[in-house]
Every structure is written in structure tokens, then in C-alpha cells.
């Protein structure tokens, strides 16, 4: 699903209560019905995987994750990313999942590595590794150092490098003008030194700025050209999804533009029907 020679993997970010007060309130009541709409919209938008996060401090996240995973799998065959900072919720999600999941995520702190990697290994899952430990490093070389530690620790638990997807840390460019150039430099080091797959929270880059979809699409096109192989992103945004699909075509990951042309024709047919 994720690989340097494959089309860019769009991981839909929508099943997440962050910034969604109605969804938060529903989760606190044990109501997962909104997920059905979230899945439908992201599948229609062209998602390749779906991130599932039901974390709310006032909700029973463990029970919600145990219920949410089979709910989503009943709605789509897309692979899932089990997303939680709570160990018990990750365990619940992985236990409920049918197939090979991607865990989001582990950082470079020793205690987090020792808590999360055994669970990942036991369930035969893959894992996203954030290139930070107890601090968020700005220097690409330092991010590489943390990534190397994560890949090594994963190997110690029997998790191969191809099952470790490193997040080089997409930061808000509105707060740090060098955010994207540092990200790209980190990508280069990861590709040359570790050869691992990569991902990021793409929406972070445009946080707090106008024209977020345009900025997001441009960021992902740039990042894909430097080796980014996936992103957790807004799969409902045609502008952002089209940018990565165009990148696939232009970078030789969509031979003869077959996927690009097929998608265009499908949109034309849908418009004609409407």
C-alpha cells in the first residue's frame, strides 16, 4: 500500500474529534454514528487508507476504539490506521482489527518504544515513528538520529524496516518559515540513510493560514517529489487529493496517466449524471 515505487498513499484524517465539538459530544455519549458519513466522504474523495482516532478525555476511548474499528471495517475494505496515544486503546483497536493495521504512532522516548513496539509486533502491524523524542528537534540530522533509533528498536522487536513509516515532522510554516525546507531536507536524509517509507500530518503545514487547501496541495506535491510516500490528510478536498494524483503522474508513478485519466473521466460522468 505504501512504497517508493507506488502511487502516493492518501490516508484520510477525518475520523478524529480534534476541533469537532459535535463529534466530541457524541463520543462522550458513546455515539459513533457520525463515522459513517466520515467514511463515505473519504472513500468518495479517493482515500487509500483511513485513520481512526476516537480520543476524547471525557469519553471511554478504549471501548470506543473497540467498537469503531469493526464499524469502519463494515463500511469499507480500505486498510486502517489505529490512532491513539493511549496504550489500552491501541491494544483494543488492534485486537478488533481484521488484517494488518498501521499504528499511529510511537516516538523516540525509550518508555514509549518499550510500551508500544511489543504490541505492534504481537499483532503483526506496521507503525508510524515520529522523529522526535522528549523534544521536537528542528535540525534534519537530529530528526534522522531519532528515526534511526526507532527503526533499530523496531528491529529488536522483530518489526522489519519496511513496516516502520517515519514521520519527518510537518510543522506550521506560519510559525516557522523554514518548516517545509527542513522537512524536505529530513526526507532526503531518511531516503538516503534509512530507505524507509514516510508520512506526515499534512494539514499541520498550513495551520492558521488562509488558502489552506492550496498550500496543502503545493506542500504535498513538493514533498512527493522529494520522496514522501504517504500523508495523513484531508481526503475530502479535491484540490489536495488532485495535487498528489497529479504528482503521481508527473513523477512516473502513474504509468501513461492511466489513473489520472480514469479519475477525470469518472468526474465528467458524475457531472453529466448530476
**What CATH number has the domain bearing residue 196?**
3.20.20.20
| Domain of 60, in residue numbers | 9-273
Q: Is the pLDDT assigned to residue 19 strictly greater than 90? A: yes
Judged by average pLDDT, the poorest of 7-11, 109-113, 265-269 is 265-269
2 found inside a domain: no
pLDDT averaged over every residue in the chain? 97
pLDDT digit string (tens) for 170-191?
999 999 999 999 999 999 999 9
Hey, how many other C-beta atoms are within 10 angstroms of the C-beta on 151?
A: 21
- Work out the pLDDT band at 274, boundaries 50, 70, 90: confident
Q: Is the pLDDT assigned to residue 255 strictly greater than 90? A: yes
Domain count, the chain: 1
Q: Is the pLDDT assigned to residue 160 strictly greater than 90? A: yes
1 found inside a domain: no
Residues ≥6 apart with Cβ < 8 Å to 270: none
Classified as helix, coil or strand, 114 is helix
Q: Is the pLDDT assigned to residue 42 strictly greater than 90? A: yes
The pLDDT value given to residue 271: 87
137 found inside a domain: yes
Amino acid at each position: 500500500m505504501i512504497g517508493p515505487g507506488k502511487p502516493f498513499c492518501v490516508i484520510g484524517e477525518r475520523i478524529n474529534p480534534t476541533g469537532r465539538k459535535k463529534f466530541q459530544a457524541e463520543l462522550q455519549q458513546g455515539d459513533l454514528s457520525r463515522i459513517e458519513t466520515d467514511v463515505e466522504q473519504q472513500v468518495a474523495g479517493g482515500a487509500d487508507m483511513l485513520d481512526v482516532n476516537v480520543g476524547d478525555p471525557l469519553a471511554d476511548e478504549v471501548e470506543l476504539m473497540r467498537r469503531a474499528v469493526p464499524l469502519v471495517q463494515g463500511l469499507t475494505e480500505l486498510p486502517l490506521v489505529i490512532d491513539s496515544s493511549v496504550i489500552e486503546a491501541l491494544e483494543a483497536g488492534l485486537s478488533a482489527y481484521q488484517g494488518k493495521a498501521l499504528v499511529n504512532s510511537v516516538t523516540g522516548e525509550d518508555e514509549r518504544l518499550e510500551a508500544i513496539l511489543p504490541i505492534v509486533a504481537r499483532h503483526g502491524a506496521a507503525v508510524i515513528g515520529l522523529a522526535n523524542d522528549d523534544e521536537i528537534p528542528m535540525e534534519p540530522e537530529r530528526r534522522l538520529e531519532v528515526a534511526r533509533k526507532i527503526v533499530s528498536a523496531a528491529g529488536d522487536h522483530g518489526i522489519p524496516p519496511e513496516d516502520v513509516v517515519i514521520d519527518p515532522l510537518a510543522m506550521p510554516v506560519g510559525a516557522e518559515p523554514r518548516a517545509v525546507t527542513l522537512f524536505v531536507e529530513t526526507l532526503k536524509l531518511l531516503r538516503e540513510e534509512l530507505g524507509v517509507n514516510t508520512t506526515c500530518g499534512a494539514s499541520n503545514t498550513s495551520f492558521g493560514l488562509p488558502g489552506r487547501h492550496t498550500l496543502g496541495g503545493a506542500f504535498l506535491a513538493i514533498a512527493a517529489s522529494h520522496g514522501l510516500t504517504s500523508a495523513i490528510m484531508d481526503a475530502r478536498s479535491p484540490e489536495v487529493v488532485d495535487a498528489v494524483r497529479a504528482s503521481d503522474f508527473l513523477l512516473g508513478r502513474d504509468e501513461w496517466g492511466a489513473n489520472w485519466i480514469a479519475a477525470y473521466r469518472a468526474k465528467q460522468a458524475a457531472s453529466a449524471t448530476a
